[in-house]
A and B are shown apart, each in its own frame.
Chain A
C-alpha cells in the first residue's frame, strides 16, 4: 500500500530532491509552493500526509503554521510533517503548535524521511533531536520541574523527559527503547504524549519563561 503525500515547499529544486529521495511506498500526488496554493491543494486532495516547509511565502506571512491553521478542520484525516532548514525554535514550535505531527531538518536522508512520513501516516509523532531539544527548552530542563499527574499539561513527566533527552542526544526510537528497557511502542506513546503537551499547554504564552529564553 502506498502513501499519498503532498509536498509544500517554495523551492522547486528542493521539491524535486525530496520526490526523488522518497522510496517506492510513498507517492507524491501534489506539490504547492505558497500558503494559498497549499491550502487549496490540500483541501481538494486531502492526502494522508503533507510534508510542509516551515517558511513559505504568501498568505498573511504565517508560513507553514498558517497552512495548518487554515486546514485545521482536516487535522483528523490529514497529517502534517514539518520540514525546515530553520533552526529557530520559535518557528518550529509555532508549526507544531498549529498541529504538525513532527519536525525534521532538511538535511535528513531519503530513507529517514520516508520512514518519518510512514510514522506520521501511522499516527505517530516524529521528533528529531533538535525538536526534542526545543521541547526540553520549552518545558524547562530543570530536574525539579516534573509533572506528577498524567493530566498536567505544563510539565513533562520524568519518563517523558528521559525519552526527550535521549532523542536529543541522537538516539533513535529503537535505541531509546533498549536504553530504558521499554518497548518501541512505549517510546512512541511517550513521544505522542509530549507532542500533545507541546500543542495544548499554555506554557508558550507570554511568561517569564518565554521572556528569559527568547531574549538576548
Chain B
C-alpha cells in the first residue's frame, strides 16, 4: 500500500479506456489537471460553440495523446528500485469495442453516402468529407498502433487480436476510400478504379520487396529490448536476494541452536521480502506510514514478536506525528514487555488528524495503580502526545487486553 494524503505529482496525460464518453480526452485532461470531468466537458462544449475550437482541440488531443490508464502509467514510470516486484493483476478489459464499432459504422455509412452523392448529385463540399474520412481512418489505425506500443495488448499474442486487426483494416479501407475520393474529384468511376488497382499493385510490389527486411528489423529490435530488460531485472533480483535473503539464511544457519534468534531473523526477512515483492516503496522521510512500519520493525526485531499492522491513509510527517510515532513505539514496547499477543497496530490518517490504536491481548492493568515514578505510560506515551495538542487514552479491561488510543492533529501549518 502506498498512499499519501496530498498527491504531489501530477498524473501523466493519457486517454483512459474506462469511464470515457468518446475518446477519453476530457477524462484524461480532468485526471491530469486534477479537476472534475464535468467541468472539462463543459469547457469543451463551450469552446466548440466558439467557432468549433473545442472540437478541433478534442480531435487534436485524440490523435496525439496515447491511450492508457494514467495511474498505471504513473506507477510504471516510477523508478524500478522503488516499485514492487510481483506482477500486478491484470484487470479484464472491455470485451466488445462498442465505441470503435459505432464510430467505424458511422464513417462507413458516411463513405457510402458520399459515393452515392458522387454518382448522383454533385455537391460543393465534396472535398470536405473525404478529408474527414481520411483523418478518421488514420486516427483509427493510429490508435491501434499506439495500443501496441503501449504494450496493452502484448499479452494477447503481440497485439494481433481480432479487434485490433478489425480496427487496422477498417482504418485502412476508410483512409484509402477517402484518398481516392479526394484525388479523383471529377474523374469517372472506372478511371478511379483502374488507378486504384495500379496503386495497389505498386504498393504490393514494394511491400513484397521490403517485408522481409522490415520483419527482421522489428524482430531484432524487440528481441534486443527484451533481452536488455531481462538482464537488468535479473541483476536487480540477484543483488537483492544476495543482500537480504542469502545473508539472513546464513545467519539463521549459524544460530540454528537459538530458536528465538531464528524466529526473529525469519520474521524480519519475511517482512522485508514481502515489502519488496508486493509494495511500492516510498522515498524516505515523506510517509508517516512507512516511518510507522520502521518502528514496528524495530519492536519486532528486538523482541522477536509479530505485530499485525493495518494502515489507512498516509501523510507527510510533522512534529505532531513525530510525537505520535515515539509514543506508539513506547506503547508497543510496553505491550510486548508486559502483556501477551497477538498484538495489533492500527493507524488512520484523515484530513485533520492521525490516530493510532495499539492493542494487546494481555491481562490488562489499572493506570491508577501504576506508581508515579514510573515514567513509561504517563510521560513517554500520554505526555508526549498531549504536548502536541493531541489526546491519549488507555483502555484496559481484565482478561480482554489493553488498548492505547493516541490521536494528534495534523496539517496545521
A residues with CB within 8 A of B: 54-55, 60-66, 69, 85-91, 94-95, 107, 129-130, 132-134, 136-137, 141-143, 165, 168-171, 175, 205-206, 208, 210-216
Contact = CB atoms under 8 A, between A and B. Distances in A.
B98 to A, nearest CB: 17
A61 B342 contact: no
17 contacts: A62-B89, A62-B92, A66-B89, A85-B274, A87-B279, A88-B278, A130-B308, A141-B349, A142-B351, A168-B310, A169-B346, A169-B359, A170-B308, A206-B69, A208-B34, A215-B4, A216-B78
A205 B7 contact: no
A136 B274 CA distance: 22
Contacts of A69: 92
Contacts of B4: 212-213, 215-216
A213 B91 CA distance: 18
B87 A61 contact: yes
B344 interface: yes
Nearest to A87: B278
Contact count band on B: 35 or more
A87 B89 contact: no
Given A61-B155, A169-B346, A90 B312 contact: no
B124 to A, nearest CB: 44
Interface in B59-78: 69-71, 74-75, 78
B335 to A, nearest CB: 11
The 9 closest A-B pairs by CB, nearest first: A170-B344, A133-B310, A169-B346, A136-B312, A88-B278, A86-B278, A169-B357, A168-B310, A61-B90
B171 interface: no
Contacts of A65: 89
B74 A216 contact: yes
A177 B403 CA distance: 17
A37 to B, nearest CB: 18
What DSSP secondary structure best describes chain A's contact surface? helix
B1 A215 contact: no
Interface in B247-293: 274, 277-280, 282-283
A211 B4 CA distance: 10
Contacts of B342: 170
Given A61-B87, A168-B346, A91 B278 contact: yes
Interface string B1-36: 111110111010000101100000001000100100
Contacts of B94: none
Contacts of B278: 85-88, 91
Contacts of B82: 216
Nearest to A98: B92
Given A87-B274, A141-B348, A216 B89 contact: no
Given A90-B89, A132-B310, A212 B7 contact: yes
Contacts of A213: 3-4
A169 B400 CA distance: 14
Contact of A169 (B18, B280, B403): B403
A88 B88 CA distance: 9
